[in-house]
């Protein structure tokens, strides 16, 4: 090997080492798995999404889906039950108990039909009987076993003019847990869909207040 070849080889390895050192310095979780979980990112993430401004604590963000042009398409969040701005930063990991967390998605509305209209136009054809009062204080609708919604139960806060709808799974999901979900309208272009374990259905008011508090903190209409 000539002296020139040796110098070129040394230069190549030096450059590669510098690039790798910089990359891992910027992404320490790749070098030390779990380090990002040990030190949750408290810095706020600023996003513009469908005409709204979001300023979200980094430790709550589990994923931001973007287009090839970096336009925000969807925001996934994982929120501790009872969250407030002053709570210590926590992230969901393998040691977390699912019942103490809320899983949320901020996205475009998936339907132009409101849940009230859906109940009156669609669900009513598959409901087995009039709603009954549940021990949570909500009204409970059961679906026919032969219906497309046989794995669901529907809960509302009012029979005549419901403003709150919660859909709960009867059987366990692929995650091994039974989930309940609700949708909150953010604007005419955005909605917040959140899920929590069925075991927390009795605490639906606390879950609801957590999400209202979160939304009032992170979102501003432009």
**Among 197, 165, 195, which residue's Cα sits nearest to residue 178?**
197
Comparing CA positions, the residue from 84, 101, 112, 107 lying closest to residue 195 is 101
- For residues 45-58, give the mean pLDDT: 94
Is the pLDDT score of 215 beyond 50?
A: yes
Residue 42 has pLDDT above 80, yes or no: no
CB-based contact 55:46 (threshold 8 Å): yes
- Cβ(47)–Cβ(75) below 8 Å: yes
- CATH fold of 40-221: Protein Transport Mog1p; Chain A (3.40.1000)
Q: Is the pLDDT of residue 63 over 70?
A: yes
Res. 114 pLDDT band, cuts 50 70 90: confident
Q: 121: Cβ–Cβ under 8 A, 6 or more apart, which residues?
A: 113
Confidence of residue 166 (pLDDT cuts 50, 70, 90): very high
Percent of the chain with pLDDT over 70: 82
Look up residue 123 and give its two tokens: 């669900």
Is pLDDT at 22 greater than 90 in this prediction? Answer: no
**Given this model, what pLDDT does residue 40 score?**
72
Give the residue, 11 or 87, on which the prediction is more confident: 87
- Considering only CA atoms, which of 116, 62, 77 is closest in space to residue 215? 77
Average pLDDT rounded to a whole number, residues 29-56:
72
Average the pLDDT over 156-170 and give the result. 90
pLDDT for 136 beyond 50: yes
Query: What's the average model confidence in pLDDT over 12-35?
Result: 41
| Per-residue pLDDT at 182 exceeds 90 | yes
- Residue 94: pLDDT over 90: no
Residue 32 has pLDDT above 70, yes or no: no
Mean pLDDT of the chain: 83
Whole-prediction pTM: 0.77
């Amino acid at each position: 090997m000539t002296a020139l070849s040796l110098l070129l080889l040394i230069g190549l390895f030096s450059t590669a080492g510098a690039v790798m050192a910089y990359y891992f310095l910027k992404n320490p979780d790749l070098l030390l798995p779990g380090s990002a979980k040990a030190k949750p990112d408290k810095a706020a993430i600023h996003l513009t999404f469908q005409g709204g401004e979001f300023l979200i604590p980094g430790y709550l963000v589990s994923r931001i889906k973007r287009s090839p042009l970096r336009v925000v398409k969807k925001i996934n969040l994982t929120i501790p039950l009872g969250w407030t701005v002053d709570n210590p930063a926590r992230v969901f990991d393998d040691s977390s108990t699912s019942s103490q967390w809320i899983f949320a998605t901020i996205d475009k509305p998936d339907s132009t039909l409101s849940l009230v209209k859906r109940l009156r136009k669609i669900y009513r054809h598959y409901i087995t009987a009039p709603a009954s009062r549940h021990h949570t204080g909500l009204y409970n609708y059961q679906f026919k076993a032969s219906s497309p919604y046989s794995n669901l139960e529907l809960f509302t806060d009012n029979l005549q003019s419901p403003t709150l709808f919660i859909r709960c799974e009867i059987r366990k999901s692929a995650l091994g847990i039974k989930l309940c979900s609700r949708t909150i309208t953010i604007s005419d272009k955005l909605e917040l869909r959140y899920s929590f374990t069925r075991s927390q259905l009795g605490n639906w008011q606390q879950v609801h207040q957590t999400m209202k508090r979160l939304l009032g903190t992170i979102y501003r209409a432009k």
